[in-house]
Amino acid sequence: MSKLGIVCVVGMLLAVGSIGGGAQEDFSLSAEFGVRAIAELAETQLRGLIDAMHVMTATANLRTGDWDQMEGLLAQFEESELSYDAWFLQTDGSYYKVGTGLASANLSDRAYFARVMVGETTLGDLVVSRSTGLKSMVLTAPIINGPSVIGALGVTLYLDGFSALLIDQLQLSDGMGFYAYDEADSVICVHADPHLLLEPLASAGIAMAPGGLLVSDYLGWVFVLGTVE
What is the distance between the alpha carbons of residues 17 and 38, in angstroms, rounded to a whole number?
17
Alpha-carbon Rg for the chain in angstroms:
19
Taking the C-alpha atoms of residue 192 and residue 38, their distance in angstroms, rounded to an integer, is 13
Q: Which domains does the chain have, with CATH numbers?
A: 1-171 (3.30.450.20)
Quick: pLDDT tens for 31-65: 898 899 999 999 999 999 999 999 999 999 999 99
C-beta of residue 228 within 8 angstroms of C-beta of residue 177: yes
pLDDT of residue 174: 84
Helix (H) or strand (E) holding 150: strand 148-158
pLDDT tens for 117-170 read 999 999 989 999 877 889 999 999 999 999 999 999 999 999 999 999 999 888
For residues 116 and 141, the answer to whether their CB atoms sit within 8 Å is: yes
